[in-house]
Amino acid sequence: EVSIGLVIITVLLCVGSLNLSKIVEAQKTVWFFIPLFPMFIIYFISALAETNRSPFDLPEGESELVGGYFTEYSSMTFALFFLGEYANMILMSAMGSILFLGGWLPPLDIAPFNWIPGPIWFALKISLLLFGFLWVRATFPRFRYDQLMRLGWKIFLPFSLFYVVLVAGVLVAFDWLPTP
């Protein structure tokens, strides 16, 4: 969660606004995925951990119990758990699309891409990030709790803080600060 907050701060430094529409409009020339690539990777991995998706699904211990913490729930309660988890995945994918992939903007501002409406571009980008969630789930083994804490506190937090300072320094040094 702390790393996601610092990632959002780097994007806000580049835009100068908390308005999601202005964040998307600031990406008309280049998506933030390109200049802030390390922060995109940290955002994606932190979103996996925040949504309790594999390899960070620590509450689910399939080897210890039949179905982990789901054994006490059945039918509608179980369905509501899954609905909440997938809604959180869609929310994180939508925020990732807005913060780094240009939201509803097409990848190139030329004729064939402009024919496709913005909501379809937005849905495609969300689907791309959701595919990444599923791909990681099928690829990597589960992390232990101590490995997750080490990753979050000893790797992501210092790197995110360094990158916030770096982005702020570059924006000030080259006079690229956004105008309000």
pLDDT in tens, 71-112: 666 678 778 888 888 999 999 999 999 999 999 999 888 888
Contacting residues for 44 by C-beta, under 8 A, at least 6 apart? 96, 129, 132
Its sign, for the CA torsion 161, 167, 171, 177, is negative
- From CA 20, how far away is CA 99, in angstroms rounded? 8
H helical segments located in 30-141: 37-50, 75-100, 111-114, 118-139
Determine the pLDDT at residue 88.
93
* pTM exceeds cut of 0.85: yes
Q: What tens digit of pLDDT does each residue of 132-180 get?
A: 998 998 888 888 888 888 999 999 999 999 999 999 999 999 999 887 6
Is the pLDDT at 127 greater than 90? The verdict is yes
Cα–Cα distance list, 109 to 3, 117, 125, 127, 134 (Å): 32, 12, 16, 21, 30
